[in-house]
A and B are shown apart, each in its own frame.
Chain A
Amino acid sequence: MSDRSLDISLTVNGERVSERVDARKTLVDFLRDDLLLTGSHVGCEHGVCGACTVRVNGEVVRGCLMLAVQCDGATVETIEGLSDSGEVADLQKAFEERNALQCGYCTPGMLATAQELLKGAQDKKQVPSRDEIREHISGNYCRCTGYHAIVDAVEAVAKARAGGKA
């Protein structure tokens, strides 16, 4: 057996998946090409733009900076899973209401990243400041909105989840 392709088993959005993959295939290409989960986008392919952001073992990572073979045994969640479970439903609604997306290319990564911040803040019973929101999404490029609407949406959800008014 060549070590240039390997058998991997992992859980993607709650489903067990076993595939043979090329060692050189990145996680995001595996998700898109092999599993047809095309909600994760490929932008810069070197970790700068954040369009490929997915969750691995509960933490957001760059899908272009992890190899699929590194995810053997891992739990991976993509925007498809986060949508279906309803985990980010309020964020998605706020993004829509506040025009926090236009072309939508960055949105799956933006939602996953924002959700990590909001989850952490909820656990500590805090509402992140606008500066903290900006800092947390600083690794996710959006070329349409100018970010203000995104920060508005994330802030609104943070307040709503903390029990205040959106």
Chain B
Amino acid sequence: MKPAPFTYKKARTVEEAVAMLGQQADAKLLAGGQSLIATLNMRLSTPSLLVDINSIGGLDKIELKDGMIEIGALVRHAQAERSDLIAKHAPLIARALPHIAHPAIRNRGTLCGSIAFADPAAELPACLLALGGEVVAAGPKGKRTVKADDFFKGLFETALGPQEMVTAIRVPAATAQTRTGFAELARRHGDYALVGLAASARTDGKGLADVRLAFFGAGDTPVRTKKAEAALAAGNIDTAIAALELSPHDDVQATAKTKKHLAGVLLKRVAAQLMEARA
């Protein structure tokens, strides 16, 4: 199919993009477009106005600032994959990136776009949640910061207002004590996962502390499982698996029962990654 007609406008600044979003109630932002244009082609989305933010300067930076890694709204997956800053200071994101779609899509797709789209089966929203990161949003009243724990509200639903755009995401820079784990199960590499798990923790030399487990493909949003986190911090993997509180839906790929089983399998794999000494 082909997209329904729409008006196309290029924003040159964040302020201009925010103002344009206010011109039509159903306006959409175009960044990488790797999800949006697919939904336009399928007419699952028929906005009357598309605001292209690709020409806004300064949004394509990856920076280390005050102990946080900040990733701008136009940083593409391929750029992040090549980034030494990401490899060194955001190892969980570095682990997740190769699982996201395919090279041609990673050349265009943006990390912030994936966060704003909030597909419950996508890797990056779960990474942001597992890392306790935050989203920087610009709107008519200026900028605000939203914690990942408060950002994902429902199926493709976020804390963003209708006239707000994500200008960056931030995650705490990894320290020598940081441990991360990532695993997903998909029928074809690069496809959306049946179930996946992103995790971070801190090690005190003996065990794990501050364990954060974020499952994806297992509910309407990326989901933290706090009982399992506590059990894992106490060093008991079997208790952690038994404590997984997930209510995935049946879909064309797998039943809820299968997904719950697979979540346990992933937890075992990711727990092993978290226990590994950092190279």
Residues of B within 8 A of A136 (CB): 103
A25 to chain B minimum Cβ distance, whole angstroms, is: 8
Q: Does A116 contact B (CB under 8 A)?
A: yes
A87 to chain B minimum Cβ distance, whole angstroms, is: 17
Given contacts A64-B37, A70-B52, A135-B189, contact A24 B103 (CB under 8 A): no
Q: Does A3 contact B (CB under 8 A)?
A: yes
A3 to chain B minimum Cβ distance, whole angstroms, is: 4
- Give the most central of B1, B8, B34, B98: most A CB within 10 Å: B8
A118 to chain B minimum Cβ distance, whole angstroms, is: 12
Sorting the interface of chain B by its residue count into under 10, 10 to 19, 20 to 34 or 35 or more gives 20 to 34
- Is the Cβ of A24 less than 8 Å from the Cβ of B38? no
**Number of interface residues, chain A, beta carbon within 8 A:** 33
B77 to chain A minimum Cβ distance, whole angstroms, is: 12
Which of B104-112, B201-209, B221-229 makes up part of the contact surface?
Answer: B104-112
- Is the Cβ of B5 less than 8 Å from the Cβ of A113? no
Which of A10-18, A42-50, A93-101 makes up part of the contact surface?
Answer: A42-50
A132 to chain B minimum Cβ distance, whole angstroms, is: 11
Against A, the Cβ 8 Å flags (1 = close, 0 = not) of B92-124 are 000000100111110110000000000000000
Contact of B101 among A45, A113, A139 (CB under 8 A): A139
In the bound complex, what is the Cα–Cα distance between A135 and B99 (angstroms)? 10
Please report which residues of chain B, range 18-44, place their CB below 8 angstroms from some CB of chain A when the two chains form the complex.
30, 33-34, 37-38, 40-42
Cβ contacts A to B, 10 pairs, < 8 Å: A6-B8, A24-B2, A24-B40, A45-B38, A47-B34, A47-B37, A62-B104, A64-B38, A66-B108, A140-B102
